[in-house]
Structure formats: structure tokens, C-alpha cells
A and B are shown apart, each in its own frame.
Chain A
């Protein structure tokens, strides 16, 4: 394999606006219900009320998440037809000619990256905009972010500069699939599995 690519996500800048999500949907003509990049809001906290006054102890932050092109891609492992595979840059891709739409990968992936497209009867997912990268451009989501919270590149370089954190609520424990993702955490970021807050927008994911 040449170089494993990955995403960098600066959570301190993410406003939950979803320009990344819609730019991806526009580029790939994805209908409602098929959304390769999604944004989760994790929030929680309590209030102290004393008579007429109140004091918050409240936190909230957003996580933009697509396919993490994992080191240990369970979607590839469970695919019965070898349609789901990793290419030379470690990008996990669906071979349309082989996919039979059995949806095992969708069931297996803890990030919900592979998504069934009813228009094609096949699985569909992020390929980190292979066509754009071939032309020397950034993936659509990265180019879209108004806050410049997304970047991409060789995962070794990203980790050397930005650390190795990928286990932030509400994401699953990174030991499961070893995602090629680096997160610069929000000041209130909770560790995966902490359960200190809740996923606020499950209906949007």
C-alpha cells in the first residue's frame, strides 16, 4: 500500500452546520436518507435553580463523521462478494459490479459509513472523493467547511502533527475498527463510552 489516507477533524471549530454533509450530497446526487457524511450533536449537563435564578452546567459539541477508511475495516471483513475492498491508499471502496446489496457491511460498521442506495440496489459510501483527489483537489466536504474544521492527508503526517485522538463521544471505541481519523477535541469533549451526555439529534443521522 502506498500511503494510508485519513481525515483530520477540528472539533473546536465545528458549528454543526452540515455544509460538509450537503456538499457531499450535492456532489454525489444523494437522495434524502442516503448521507455519507453526517454530523452528531453530543450534549448534556444540568441546571441549578434557586428561586428566580438559575446556573447552567451545560456542554455541547459536534462531530462530523464519514467513512474512516479503517485499518480494521469490518465492512470488508463481512462482505461476502469482495465488493467492499481497500485500495492502494487504504480507501475503502465498493465495487458496484460485485455488490449484491446484502447490507452486511451496513450492519457491521459502527460508524454507519456504508449506506444502501435504493436507486441502485447497491451499497454506497464515501471514497474520499477519489475523482477530486485525482485532479489534485480536496474532497468536497473538506473544501466546503466554512470553519476550516476538516482536512485530509496521509494519516502518519496528520498524527505526527495533530495527535492520535479518535475516541470521543458519541463515536465508538477506536479499538474496534482502528479508524484513520484524527480529532482535535472540543474543550468539553467526552471520551468514548463515558455516557456523560447524550446524542441529541439521532433522527438526523
Chain B
């Protein structure tokens, strides 16, 4: 069948109502003015008249920044009048050239004022009212001293009764850009520094962004390498983006959005986007969009490899010289014939199946003729600028998804040369900034970033071979306390929220949850003790750069305003708790936060030539330097003998004998597999199961959305207005269900149900829906999540190797609400 055409929202656009507001939103009497909306919060006056006061009618303009986890990083100039921020301005330094570009903040950063002065701001320390359910929303205000005392005494008790490994720092990236205030990586946070003063804490490895590719890359390359930077695409005739969507993820006009667009404008390389959605990156950059069923990229690569091998288009010299396991002649010793990638593709391996374009077409949804054409083009345009985003790896078979794209880069000989790429995500130039504030955890035991709910539920049952515990064969103790600083992974960004909430409600398991944040986030609702943090506009820090092609930069984000309400800095909180634990001197080393920031800049100047002094940097706000394009594995390509990889063979391992061994020894749930080659694996709730699952036939992914960075900014009214939460559904799938654009719909499976408006669009593949990830879980009285969080629908089931999150592997059904 062919899908029906898009049902036009309006068949004809009446001349006088092309962009007419609906009655509800049309500035009518029902509309509440800003003054009323903000309930008298400081900093938000009534809406001004049409002729706004002059932009120069302010007391001062102060440099700040946006520090959330998008992969970009933007300076902001904040204008202050009478102690309030009245306007946020973009960077006004630099230009429109790659390497010296003006770092124009994205829509999110530009809405920062409504994040700082948000009705959800936490104002004073609070404790869950004794005897009430965790997450029940019943709080009592407590003094800072009471909060510090209770946290410190609980830490002492738990360390005595269970040891330091019972205390966990949950993943959080809300202030990832900071240095003293940073919330990620966990080992560099002020919380880690505090805990390290008293014996440490249970570590985690990986992260929710890229858990599976992070674990996969070392099996191929020995370590995380990165593909060539986007500016290097100027040396390519062809750029291929596998699920890579910089224009919606790394949205900064100083970062990869600017770099990709400007490079394409200047160079005119052909761009192919492979993605289940017709993304905004495809809208602006792509010559061709190849829609693919989620979780099937490894099958597409296999189908293309079949064409390349059959037509002798692959780079045999590169594979012979730099790789292990492409063919029988290059397998590790003792591995049986038929185990090479070539054998897997040609049907000479254990499964006996030829991975023809027709085979791949059935799985991926991409016609065989398209696969043949793509394979020929990719093989003969080299070097090809190949990158993948982190959608392909956020699947149940994510490690193999990621590894297969590395193999495609190898087969085309694109690795280690200008204009090419390793097949990982784009790398970028970065400054080696120092961090004297960071300390080392005496505890070496670690779990997967995604495994903390298991560690609460059944910690001592978790083992190295079954659960990926590192540093010990088995956990000794369950998690008894969680720190959640500037993060929403405690509930909203984890999976299967309803199940997670049930676990957290049992306070006999995890006994204390401390949340430090400046907003009443979904995770904050589940705290026992809630500590109100300041925003980054209320304190000083030196801020790390984001991914920006070949440009390096550093920002000093100054204190713009005094802390609001009774909020305090995380540095002060940790100092005070350290004092009660008898380690204040160790924690602060007698320094203030400003002393530390100065130290960071001073220490960084040794490694970063030309970096100004702290006082100069504070004046400048942002300092930029044009660096080199990043070419992943250039040294190895130039001289593989002198510069071997850190893999056991020293080469790129298409076949991994480490994985070969793990496949035999690891204890996996029924149906999960580890393969030495990056084979396509059909998984639970995968693309193939979708077509036989009558109850939940739609594949549900959760794309990163312009409204938010993950969940940050999700409660900002301007952002909700600009980019409302909607579920994308293909026109044909919507028609089958009687759904038209804008209808309120329920998306559900056995784990949960969410309710939100439908965006009926041709811009998503048939059989696929996308619920933009990061919306705030908001259960109604019936337990329906009317906030529309995709994680109400996702599963705790981890991936095979990384034990990571596979949130794009989710099956659902949709009905009109």
C-alpha cells in the first residue's frame, strides 16, 4: 500500500489568517500578563510597551554562560538593572568565519532569564515530611544547619554500617559546563571531592548520552577516538551522517550548527542523512535523506558491505594494513575460519546467511536498489566524512550498531585522513584546561551508569559477568544513599519511570536521597532532603568550551546577581558538610570559590599558550583561539608501527577476540548476545519484533528536542510556547488510527501511558513514532503521564556489553485520547 498524502491542516490559507492566532492563544482576554504569570518573582516586570526602553538603559552588562549538556557551550551577556537581570544578549565578539566565529547562543540559552526567574525555583532547604511517601510532595522547610547535620550524620552512619560503596553519585549534567560547579563527569564534581575526603563512593562508568558507543569504541580502536571535526568536511566530496543531528542537538551558533552549515556553504560537498526522521539537519544540510528503521544501521552497513565486496569497491590495502578480522587472512590466531566480517557478509559464517541488499532491505526498510546505489557512492567518493550521532547506539544492539559504522569507515579507507572520519561522532579542537579542584576516588568499584536501580534493588547479587560490575567480582552492598546534583536521571532521564518511582518509594532500600538543584525538577520531587542551588548567573566559575569544529575557547562566567531567595552555592554546601565530617580543610584547602576559579585559570595557562590571566579573562568574558581540524587516528594512519592502537593487536579490530571470549563467559539474559563481529542483531522490541507485535506495533524513539537540553529548560514558558511537546507520527500510521495533526493522543505499552498532542507529519518513517526525550513526567490521578516523558515507556533492560541504556528500543501503540 502507499501511504495517503499529508492531510493538509488548512486546504487553503485564507488571506487574512495565514498566521492567525487561535482564539486561545490570540492575546485575548483569557491571556494572563507576565506580571501575574510570574507571581511577583523578582526580575520579571509586566510586559513592556511596544517601544521597549533603550537597550542601553541598564546599570551594567556582565558575562555569563549556559552550562547545560548539549555539546555546545555559549557565553551570554546579561544586562542588570536595579539588581535584576532584565535582558540576555549574545556573544558580540568574533565573526562569521570558521575558527573565529561569534558564539551565538541557541534559543534555549536566550530564554535563560525565564529559567533563572522561574516559578519552579527552589527557595529554601526542605525535608520530606516524616512519615509521608517519598515523592508525595509533602515538605517541611528546614534550616541549612539542620540539612547539613542530617546529611553528615547519615553519611557517617552509612559508611560505618555499609562502607563507602553504599553511597552513590547519580549521573547529572545540568551544570556540565562549569569547573568548580560542574556536575559531570561525576569524578570531577564538588560532591566527589567531598566524598573523596571521607573515603570515596561507588563509581559509575559510561553515561546516558553514549553508554554503548563508549564501551564499543575501545573494542575497535582501543579507546574513544572521535571522528574528524565537522570543519574538516571541507576536504570531502561526500558527508554521511548516521543518526547525527547537530542542528537540533548542538544548536549553538558558535558550535556545530554554525560549523556544519558554513562548511557546506563554502565547500558544497554532497550530504546524506540516514535517520528515521527528516531532521532539521536534513532540512538544511542534506542532499538525500535515507529513512531507516531504528536499530537497523548494522544491517544497512552489512548490505552495503556486500555490494562493496561483490564489486571489489572496498579499500583492501587499508584493511590489510590497519585492521584485524576483515577476512580470513587477518583473523587472530586460533580463531576458526568463517569468523571474519567478509565471511559474515558473504554467508560463509556460522549463520550461513548472505547479507545481500535484499536481506538488508527487509530489515531496514531501505529498498535494495537504494542500498546498492549508496554503497557504490560511499565506496567511490572517498575519503568520506562519516560520523554517527548517538541515536544509533541508544538501542538494545547499540554496541554493534556503533561498531558497524566504524567498519564502514574502514572499508572505504576514510580513517585517519583529511576529509575522512572514523565513523564515531565528530571530534573537535579543545583546550587542555586544568582542573586542580578534581580529586581521586579511593574506591575503584564501579557499576554501569544505567545500573543504579539494580544496585538499589539487588546490589549484592550484581556480578562482573552478569551485570558488568567493574573492580570487583560482586558488589558487597546495595546503594543506601544517593546524591543527585544538577541532574534529572534519578527519575525523568532514567527508564521505565513508573517502575523507578516504585523502587524509590521504598525508603527501606535507598535510605537517603539528597537532591541539589535550583528547580523543582521531577527528580527533586523524590528527594528526602532538597537543597536549593543558585543558578550559574548567581556565582562565579570558569566554563569549559563546547564542540566547535576547530575553535578553542574559554569563558569566565561572572556572578551577575546576588543569590535569589535562600539559595546557596554547591561549594558552600559541600564545605559546610565537610566541616561536620571533620574534613573542611581538606575540602576547601583554605580557598574560596573565587580562589579556585583563579587557580584553574592560572594552572591552565601552563598548558594553553596565550590564555589570558583570570582578571583579563573576566573582563573579556570569552577568549577564542583558532586551532587545528581534528583528524581521528591521523598518527596511526601515518605510521601504524610507530603509533599502534591500544587494542591487543595494535590495530583496528573489526573482529575482537576480547568480545569473542566475553561471548563465552558473560552471563546474559535469554536472547541477548555478544558477537565478536559487529553483526546486525535482532533484539527484544526491535524493528523485526515490531512487525509481529499486534499489541504494540510501533517503534518509539525519543529525539533530542529544541525545547530542551535533555530536561533542562523544559519548564520555561517561552520554550514550551516555541516548541511544545508533541509526538511525531507518520501520516499513514495516523490515518490508520483516525488521528489528525494536533489531536490529543495516548502513547502506551505495558510499562506506561503518556498523553500529548500528535504532530502528524511525513517527516518520520512509517512504523516509527518519536516522543522528544526530556519532557517532565507528570502523572495525573489515573497515572497517565500528561507531561509526555518518553521514559514512562522505556525499559530497564540494559545492553549486552555496556549494560547501558537502550531507550530508543521501545515498542508502543497510539490511540486518540
Give me the interface of A with B, judged by CB distance under 8 Å.
12-19, 21-23, 25-35, 38, 40, 43-50, 52-56, 58, 60-62, 65, 93-94, 96, 106-112, 115-120, 122-125, 127, 129-132, 134-135, 137, 143-148, 169-173, 176, 186, 193, 195, 197-205
- Taking CB as reference atom, which chain B residue is nearest A192? B13
Determine if B280 is an interface residue (Cβ-Cβ < 8 Å): yes
Please give, as numbers and ranges, the residues of chain A lying within 8 Å of B2 by CB-CB distance: 46-49
| B310 at interface, CB cutoff 8 A | no
B364: nearest chain-A partner, CB-CB: A53
Residues from chain B with a CB closer than 8 A to the CB of A58 are 278, 289, 762-763
With A21-B722, A29-B45, A43-B6 as given contacts, are A54 and B21 in contact (CB-CB < 8 Å)?
no
In the complex, which of the residues A28, A122, A131, A146 contacts B104, with contact meaning CB atoms closer than 8 Å? A146
CB pair A44–B762 under 8 Å, yes or no, is yes
Contact of B9 with A146 in the complex, beta carbons under 8 Å: no
Q: Is the CB of B722 within 8 A of A54?
A: no
Which of A32, A127, A199 meets B721, CB within 8 Å?
Answer: A32
Are A44 and B6 also in contact (CB < 8 A) when A96-B49, A144-B110 are?
yes
Q: Report whether A26 and B55 are in contact in the complex, using a CB–CB cutoff of 8 Å.
A: no
Note all chain B residues with C-beta closer than 8 A to A116.
Answer: 26-28
The smallest beta-carbon distance between B610 and chain A, in angstroms, is 27
A46 touches B722 (CB 8 A): no
Binding site for A on B (CB under 8 A): 1-13, 15-22, 25-29, 31-35, 37, 44-56, 86-90, 92, 96, 104-107, 110-111, 113, 247-248, 251-254, 257-258, 261, 278, 280-281, 283-284, 289, 291, 361-363, 365-368, 370, 691, 706, 717-724, 730-732, 741-742, 757, 759, 761-763, 765-766
Complex: A124 Cα to B48 Cα, angstroms: 9
Name, among A23, A115, A124, A143, the residue most crowded by chain B CB atoms within 10 Å (CB to CB).
A23
Contact A107 B16 (CB under 8 A): yes
A112: chain B residues at CB < 8 Å are 18-21
A52 to B687: give the CA distance in the assembly, Å. 11
CB neighbours (8 Å) of A143 from chain B are 89-90, 92, 104
- B12, B366, B722, B731: residue with the most chain A Cβ atoms closer than 10 Å: B722
In the complex, chain B residues whose CB is within 8 Å of the CB of A23: 90, 110
With A112-B21, A124-B49, A143-B90 as known contacts, state yes or no: A22 contacts B761, CB within 8 Å: no
Residues of A within 8 A of B31 (CB): 31-34, 118
Among residues of B, the one whose C-beta sits closest to the C-beta of A23 is B110
CB atoms of A54 and B291 under 8 A apart: yes
Question: Given A19-B106, A116-B27, A203-B22, do A31 and B47 touch, yes or no (CB 8 Å)?
Answer: yes
- State the CA gap A146–B247 with chains docked (Å): 10
A86: shortest Cβ distance to chain B, in Å? 15
What is the chain B residue whose CB lies nearest that of A202?
A: B9
- A40: nearest chain-B partner, CB-CB: B19
**B30 CB to nearest chain A CB (Å):** 9
| Residues of chain B with a CB closer than 8 A to A43's CB | 6, 761-763
Interchain CB contact under 8 A, A148 and B96: yes
List 5 other contacts, CB 8 Å, given A146-B106, A205-B19. Answer: A17-B706, A33-B21, A49-B766, A147-B261, A201-B759
Closest to A119 in B: B33
Minimum Cβ distance to chain B for residue A58 (Å): 4
Is B365 within 8 A of A46, CB to CB?
A: no
Q: What distance in Å separates the Cβ of B707 from its nearest Cβ neighbour in chain A?
A: 10
* Among A134, A176, A198, contact of B15 (Cβ-Cβ < 8 Å): A176
Q: Is the CB of A200 within 8 A of B284?
A: no
Say how far A97's CB is from chain B's closest CB, in angstroms: 10
The answer, among B22, B52, B107, B361, for a CB contact under 8 Å with A22, is B107
**A199 and B10 form a contact (CB under 8 A):** yes
CB-CB < 8 A to B46: which residues of A?
29, 119
Please indicate the chain B residues that have their CB under 8 angstroms from the CB of A195 in the complex. 8, 11-13
Which residues from chain A contact B32 at a C-beta distance below 8 Å? 31, 118
Q: Are B763 and A60 in contact (CB under 8 A)?
A: yes
Q: A31-B33, A94-B50 are in contact. Are A22 and B718 (CB under 8 A)?
A: yes
B356 CB, min distance to chain A CBs, angstroms: 14
A47 to B6, CA, bound (A): 9
| B762 near A56: Cβ-Cβ < 8 Å | yes
How distant is B700 from chain A, measured CB to nearest CB, in Å? 18
Please judge, given known A-B contacts A18-B107, A32-B718, A111-B18, whether A117 and B50 are in contact too, CB under 8 Å.
yes
Judge whether B731 and A118 touch: CB under 8 Å: no
The one of B11, B22, B87, B370 that contacts A27, using a Cβ cutoff of 8 Å: B87
With A54-B766, A123-B50, A147-B253 known to touch, is A110 a contact of B5 (CB < 8 Å)?
Answer: no
A109 to B15, CA, bound (A): 9
The answer to whether B730 and A26 have CB atoms under 8 Å apart is: no
Judging by beta carbons under 8 Å apart, are B763 and A204 in contact? no
A40 to chain B, nearest CB (A): 7
Residue of A nearest to B44 (CB): A29
In the bound complex, what is the Cα–Cα distance between A171 and B724 (angstroms)? 22
| Contact between A198 and B6, CB atoms less than 8 A apart | yes
- Asked if A118 and B3 make an inter-chain contact with CB atoms under 8 angstroms apart, the answer reads no
A172, B11: Cβ atoms under 8 Å?
no
6 A-B pairs with CB atoms under 8 Å apart are: A15-B251, A22-B718, A52-B363, A107-B16, A115-B21, A146-B257
How many angstroms between the C-alpha atoms of A197 and B365 in the bound complex? 25
Q: Which residue of A lies closest to B46 (CB)?
A: A119
Question: In the docked arrangement, what's the CA distance between A13 and B252, Å?
Answer: 14
Q: Which residues of A contact B763 (CB under 8 A)?
A: 43, 58, 60
